[in-house]
Structure 1
Amino acid sequence: MRRAAVYIRVSTQEQAQEGYSVGEQKERLIAYCKAQDWLIADIYVDGGYTGSNLNRPGIQKLMAETDKFDVVLVYKLDRLSRSQRDTLYLIEEIFLPNNVDFVSMQESFDTSSPFGKAMIGLLAVFAQLEREQIKERTKMGRIARAKAGLYHGGGYIPIGYDYDHDAGKLVINPYEAEQVRKIFEWYLSGGSLKSITDRLQDEGFTNKYGSYSSWSSVRYILENETYLGRIHFGDVLVEHAHEAIVSEEQFNAVQVLRGKRREQYGATAFQSKHWLTGLIFCGNCGGRYYLRNSGKYSYYACYSRTKQIKSMVKDPNCKNKNWKGPELEAKIDARIRELLHSPEMAADIAAHKPQAAAPVAENSSVEKRIREIDKQISKLMSLYQNDEIPTELLGEQISRLYNEKTTLQAAVTPVVEPTAMPFDLVQELIADAAQIWDFADEAQRRRIAQSLISRIILTDDEIEIEWAF
């Protein structure tokens, strides 16, 4: 007797629709198992979860327990997933390799038959197209609300605001708004995401979602232009849609600092304890320098020269100089001290800083190929509607094209205009840093250095500092 895993999914929008409720799906699927003389191994339910991804507890449990059943049964293909990529992944990478067949009751096919295998690609494409139509309708509704200066409502309401359902607008929550202001203030004073999160917890701050248990909440606040009073959705930008919590100057200064930290450290910011970490680059190959400890000695070396980490090697033939740790640190420390005690030097640097070159778009060829894929899919669908292409070939070709399109879309990178930290904020930073540099610990020096310096370039015996203003 075959063992069946019954999978049921409903999204919030579909729970009240005929044939889609948990109860109705369950009743029909159990009856189907009885008619097939299958033993029900387990019933997996995801209530109120979207089918656009696999972040669902029920589907995750099912994926982990493929040894308990021989077939997965769903009411309709899109109950499994509305994503073509996820559908094919589940069937081809999870079910079939574990000798588990997949059966969709409504479409009357299963993967144990040749026709069922051919139809999977085609039906997955239509499920994907349906999802794209839903997304498009939702997007149009949100664009219309944004143009009217209305918040989209529901879901996540930004910390610092409450949602006025009658007016369709965000209104200030005084207690939370004060927390938002402090977060911007502390970050511009050199705080990291983690240190700010720890401070919020230590001082007992809470918001509508509870305490600040993760630094991701702090990051979201720092990068959310809603706090400028804006509604921004797609190409629609509405200023003064609601009351701002922070000034545009503060917000822009934070974005500059966030961008510089991401460029220097990526996702591993502040994991190293050394104050020059992430700032030093090789003038010969463009690779990074790092601090190596060898017994009693420490020295800075280019990754390309040591080949310590393959992914960090820019030029395997690089022979740029190694620097003794204390020697290089002393030279850079002297340059920073000179800046901190000479306001005129900072003003001169800012006045003569060359304008950054306009960014070059690197996505044109990728975007062109995406447009070509869309045209090819459109042509294939026209051929299918005119009965000019076999079903098996259609499913195979569209599946290949969608996979290529998904890969290309993930590779497209946004082009961001270069910006600089406002000089009045630089002056404040220099004044504050001058008072504590002599007494600062390693962590404090790191924050000051990475706020003042974009990068340090070593070329043989030469040291060039690119300041961040």
Structure 2
Amino acid sequence: MLVGCYLRVSTIDQAEEGYSIEQQKDKLKQYCSVKDWNVYKFYVDAGFSGSNINRPAMQELIEDVNNNKIGTILVYKLDRLSRSQKDTLYLIEDVFNKHKVSFVSLNENFDTSTAFGKASIGILATFAQLEREQIKERMQMGKMGRAKTGKAMNWWNPAFGYIYNRETYDIDQFKADIVKRIYKDYLSGTSINKIAENLNSEGHLGKDRQWSFRTVRMILANSDYTGNVKYHGKIYAGQHTPIIDQKAFETTQKELKIRQQEAYSKNNNPRPFQSKYILSGLLECKYCSCNLALVQYRPRKDGTHLSVYKCPSTMRKKMFTQRQLSNCISKTQERQMLEEYVIKEISKLQANTDKIELMSSSKVVDVDAYEIELEKIEKSLKKLVNIYVDTDSLTIDIFNEKKEALLSQKNAINKKIQSIKKKQPELSIKDAKKVLRGINGNITRASYDTKYKIVRKLIKKIIVGNEESTIKWAFEL
């Protein structure tokens, strides 16, 4: 029998006893000798993770199996083949079994040519997947620990102006001076493109390539320069010395946003969209369900503008069909009058927040009980696997029957949770009250910007009719 011996080691495994390539190879040789098997080839992936099968030797092994060159695959341990349950079962079911190739794992003492081996492979693959998730979790916890203690997070690529040194950053004074100059020039009114142009005209000192808009922009937005470290969107106090003080950095971030919006406005760029008026995008025609469009007329003699909302179906444009033109009876609505109506309705709620509970047609259903039940099922699944592996009290048929029953319950609960979440309003009653109580004074006297923000939080859409309009609140279904 020709045997293909597969060996793999990752950087994590290299320090673990019994996992080195040579140790695996020696054990597999001895096993083949005892079984009187002939080794066709050793397939070695050194320094490759078991999280996927995109490995050179693994791909070569699959090709040789497809060409019927091997009768058996031998590994030292199941997780040498893969740490992914999905990949393990794919290799065994869709590659090895398809070509009648047996799979043998020395450490677990089973092979797929036996009934027990076939039954055990799914269980063992589950544990391999669990181990991979645990490794991933430990690595994430390690990174979080680094961030909380202020250690360098980008040790492989420190920010321009810093040098990585023993868990933290040291300042490269020459480059740090360039960083300070970039911030100073930007806050003095120089554009990002001009800063890059100036640096390049001087020979892009300190860099092995030309400065670009992107590289300057990244420096202006990098919080590492304030002496902090960032991980998963959160900022932690770092151990390194800041190059830019916190106040200058915050001022720069505000200036970046201001200039970005000015650029969008100047170039008439709709992305990202920011509506100018409080009702923009919220108004829907009662008769044809089109979103109302804002139309501004030329200035009056007193300098004011007349702004109105119109249903697009009533406008004679090529994009609308004659059917739409003839069916929609929507009339023009003055912007100011609509805004005053909406603000007045919010003011009524502000005066009586308890009214929200009467208006809300739904009660928020707590999903915590369903989440707790899911946890119980997960524990039952793990317990079932342990009973099957550690004792002889369960046959494979009973094991599969109980497992499928638990998985069926789990699937049903997940569907129920999703169904509940879909039926919940966009804004809870509690949060709606919080928004209203957070308004300083009556909303009718608030600034236009404040009104804009409140309307966006409380209102889902407004159905506009010729005689009356209906507000669909975010706390209603």
**So what's the TM-score if we normalise by structure 2?**
0.48
Larger Rg: 2
The structure showing larger relative contact order (alpha-carbon pairs under 8 Å, at least 6 residues apart) is 1
**So what's the TM-score if we normalise by structure 1?**
0.49
